[in-house]
A and B are shown apart, each in its own frame.
Chain A
Amino acid sequence: EAGVAQSPRYKIIEKRQSVAFWCNPISGHATLYWYQQILGQGPKLLIQFQNNGVVDDSQLPKDRFSAERLKGVDSTLKIQPAKLEDSAVYLCASRRQPSSYEQYFGPGTRLTVT
């Protein structure tokens, strides 16, 4: 079974530029999460999707961050415009269903904002 795929793996942009990340969850996994992991900290949930609907985006800075999962499969996370403090690793994770025990993480996208 293929794991959670993310691209790109690394991205360097200047502040005020835009950037987008892509995630393809494990086939059949209805629940998809985006996390932000700042260096030296644990991951923090940004948004949770159940199929193509948002169930929790309370921690998403909506003035600059947006995310979508149009067909209930892959997802994109966008930052526009980026700030220096957005430098972090963005992790995508998926779960077969909300009650499932395991949450599987992708390799992450390391974003550096200069």
Chain B
Amino acid sequence: ELKVEQNPLFLSMQEGKNYTIYCNYSTTSDRLYWYRQDPGKSLESLFVLLSNGAVKQEGRLMASLDTKARLSTLHITAAVHDLSATYFCAVLMNYGGATNKLIFGTGTLLAVQP
């Protein structure tokens, strides 16, 4: 069974600083997602990474994927308070036909302090 691990689980950082969230997974997959979740809200899709070496950027967030290392990173540049949220990575497992399943990581709670 695929396992998805994120670290750190909690990240407190100051505004203006840079940091990286790591997502490791245990089985080969060709699709990885990053989601954001605000307290009491649903999941907002940030990035879909489809191939080895894929890099996507939106504002202060940049995600990358290394399928050989089974590792994805979410890099935060010059953090601002509005980025405070829980970030999840999720790996798609295909079981053939119409059966596929998103396996989520444990989440990283990001708190950006002024």
Contacts and interface: CB of A to CB of B under 8 A. Distances in A.
Contacts, number: 51
A56 B43 contact: no
Given A103-B102, A107-B41, A56 B107 contact: no
B21 interface: no
Contacts of A91: 42-43
Interface residues of A, number: 23
Given A101-B31, A103-B102, A43 B43 contact: yes
Contacts of A48: 99-101
B44 to A, nearest CB: 8
A102 B45 contact: yes
A55 B98 contact: yes
Nearest to A50: B98
Nearest to A108: B42
Contacts of A43: 43, 88, 102, 104
B104 A42 contact: yes
Nearest to A101: B48
Interface of A: 31, 33, 40-45, 48, 50, 55-56, 91, 98, 101-108, 110
